[in-house]
Amino acid sequence: MATDTVEQNSEKQTPAKQPPAKQGMSTKSVHAGEDRQKPGDAIADPIFCSSTFTFRTTDDVIDYCEGRSDREEYGRYGNPNERSVERKLAALDCGEAAIVYGSGMAAIVGLLMAKLNAGDEIVFFDQCYHRSREFCSKHLARFGVVTRQVPTGDYDAMEAAINENTRMLVSESPTNPHLTCIDLEQFVALGKAHEVETLIDATLATPYNIQPLEFGVDYVLHSATKYLGGHNDLLAGVIVGSAEALDPVRNLRGIMGAVNSPHNMYLLERGLKTFELRMQRHNANGQAIAEFLESHPRVERVYYPGLKSHPTHEIATQTMRGFGGLVTFTIKDADMRQTANIVDAARIPRIAPSLGGVESLIEQPLVMSYYKCTPEQRASYGIADNMIRMSCGIENTEDLIADLDQALQA
């Protein structure tokens, strides 16, 4: 059995693991990255609970060290479950290589720490995941990396912030919680014109709705905790890009140790099998709920890229296949408490941070992620007291709408 396993991981089988890019998303998410014939003739990948991997002889060790065999060595550098998920995720984003981390934040930290040196600068759009902002402004700064924030979607301001020390342009698309979509053509053109690498955190879009590498973005990042895992039962992160550019990043991950257990990778692989089916329902629910909310008399404003009223609707329709399950809205003439009453009255969505799982979640950004901010900080991030963010799961659309309708009477 052990012999078979080693041979199945050997190089001669690698090409079969890379499906043609023209295959559909669901075909890739079911089959890509996996060996066709598995140990024990199992159809699902077995979970390889092993912290280290054995060599038959000293010559086998030497072959491995000299790059003549492709296999595992020690759990911090990778395991078979992680490899198969990495190949699958690379295929979904049409990238050459993927590196999986223990969380989305570990992926961001891992990439930036591997790519930046003291004296380097990065420029990022200011609507972003608050922990990414905190890592850049608080922690990268300690290592002498300068971070410059510019208003989201202001490409002139981004260009003006670039100088000879700039190494990376960073943005999310869509952003959270305002769902601003980035014009990837302009963003990539800025990077190319100034020879600066580009990174898109596409967690909210997923590879189903957007393909940043096709636009020429250098690195695409996802918190796999969200739609990729999709079941609110795991944390993981991934970076996809060219194998060469990711080589030093993989090396640092092996040192940082921000790796996943084989069990976690099994869960992610299993979650990915239904990725396209889930995304279709998330997209449909997001659109239907955004339209319902926009027509509701108690709702002041809805942020959803699939609505004509959204400031970046045009960009969204040009770059995305669907607009995801996240919907942000504000309540007319409501204070913090009146808004909380609506959140508390919802019976299907659960109150929790995070997004992208099969269970719908609802939260008031003021109390969830931004509670410790001053009112001035919240205002600068565009977080209003009467704002609600809903992550539409895969429940039936009419049930979610009926539930929101009753909650809005609170």
Ligand X SMILES: *Cc1c(COP(=O)(O)O)cnc(C)c1O
Which residues form the interface with ligand X (CB under 6 A)? 103-105, 129, 132, 172, 176, 201, 203-204, 223, 225-226, 235, 237
Cβ closest to ligand X, residue 85 vs residue 299: 85
Please, which residues have CB within 8 angstroms of residue 317's CB and are 6 or more apart in sequence?
none
Maximum C-alpha span of the chain: 74
Contact call for residues 265 and 85 (beta carbons, < 8 A): yes
Start-to-end CA distance of the chain, whole Å, equals 61
In the complex, least distance from residue 175 CB atom to ligand X, rounded to whole angstroms: 8
Tokens describing residue 205: 């879009």
Cβ closest to ligand X, residue 34 vs residue 172: 172
Please, which residues have CB within 8 angstroms of residue 377's CB and are 6 or more apart in sequence?
370
In the complex, least distance from residue 214 CB atom to ligand X, rounded to whole angstroms: 20
Residue number, nearest CB to ligand X: 104
- Name the one residue in this structure whose structure tokens are 């919680």: 177
In the complex, least distance from residue 201 CB atom to ligand X, rounded to whole angstroms: 5
Cβ closest to ligand X, residue 173 vs residue 339: 173
Cβ closest to ligand X, residue 29 vs residue 225: 225
Cβ closest to ligand X, residue 88 vs residue 226: 226
For residue 45, give Cα distances in angstroms to 13, 34, 210, 226, 322: 16, 8, 28, 22, 31
In the complex, least distance from residue 269 CB atom to ligand X, rounded to whole angstroms: 17
Cβ closest to ligand X, residue 129 vs residue 208: 129
| Alpha-carbon span 326 to 367, nearest angstrom | 18
Cβ closest to ligand X, residue 231 vs residue 296: 231
Cβ closest to ligand X, residue 237 vs residue 365: 237
In the complex, least distance from residue 172 CB atom to ligand X, rounded to whole angstroms: 5
In the complex, least distance from residue 409 CB atom to ligand X, rounded to whole angstroms: 31
- Name the one residue in this structure whose structure tokens are 């404003």: 301
Question: For residues 284, 287, 289 and 295, what is the CA-based torsion angle, rounded to 10 degrees?
Answer: -140
| Alpha-carbon span 124 to 48, nearest angstrom | 39
| Alpha-carbon span 326 to 52, nearest angstrom | 41
Tokens describing residue 133: 């902002």
In the complex, least distance from residue 231 CB atom to ligand X, rounded to whole angstroms: 14
In the complex, least distance from residue 258 CB atom to ligand X, rounded to whole angstroms: 10
| Alpha-carbon span 195 to 198, nearest angstrom | 10
In the complex, least distance from residue 236 CB atom to ligand X, rounded to whole angstroms: 7
Cβ closest to ligand X, residue 134 vs residue 399: 134
